[in-house]
Amino acid sequence: MGGYRRNGVGKEVMSDSQFKNDLDRESTSDADLTKRLRKLDDRIAQTKAEHSDRHDNERQRTSLANRSALAYGFHLSSEFIASVLGGGVVGWSLDYFLPTSPWGLIAFVLIGFAVGLVNIVKSTKARHPDH
């Protein structure tokens, strides 16, 4: 029965010395658990900080890439629109000074369109030579 005694009803109950020993063991294990819990909290905080830094850097790279792609898209679209408008202006000017009424405008708008497409293809190939 080591450490247990019978009470008046006949049930075994823990003796006072056994109870104190169990309390000492629990406080030691509580201290160990608290220590382990603090270590775990520190590791979690460190991992979160590393992940946050890595995520912030990745987000910045993605943001810069998106801005760069957007700027490149605006550059290509403005070149294309300028070439079509330029062809239209040249065609309208020819129609104004020569008696070729709609044909100069039609021809040079189509030429401007073709020049715009060629410029887009050249610019894209220069930026991505492996494709």
Q: What pLDDT was estimated at residue 61?
A: 72
- Report the predicted TM-score, pTM, of the whole model to 2 decimal places: 0.52
Q: What is the pLDDT of residues 63-94, one digit of tens each?
A: 767 778 888 999 999 999 999 999 999 999 99
* pLDDT the model gives residue 33: 82
CB 115 within 8 A of CB 75: no
pLDDT of 53 reads 72
Q: Are 73 and 127 in contact (CB under 8 A)?
A: no
State the Cα–Cα distance between residues 105 and 121, nearest whole angstrom.
Answer: 24
Band (pLDDT 50/70/90 cuts) for residue 10 is low
More confident residue, 38 or 21: 38
**How high is the pLDDT of residue 95?**
94
Q: Is 112 exposed, middle or buried (0-12, 13-18, 19+ CB in 10 A)?
A: buried
Residue (of 115, 114, 89, 92) closest to 103 by Cα position:
92
Reduced to 3 states, what is the DSSP secondary structure of residue 14?
strand
CB 102 within 8 A of CB 95: yes
Mean confidence (pLDDT) of the chain? 81
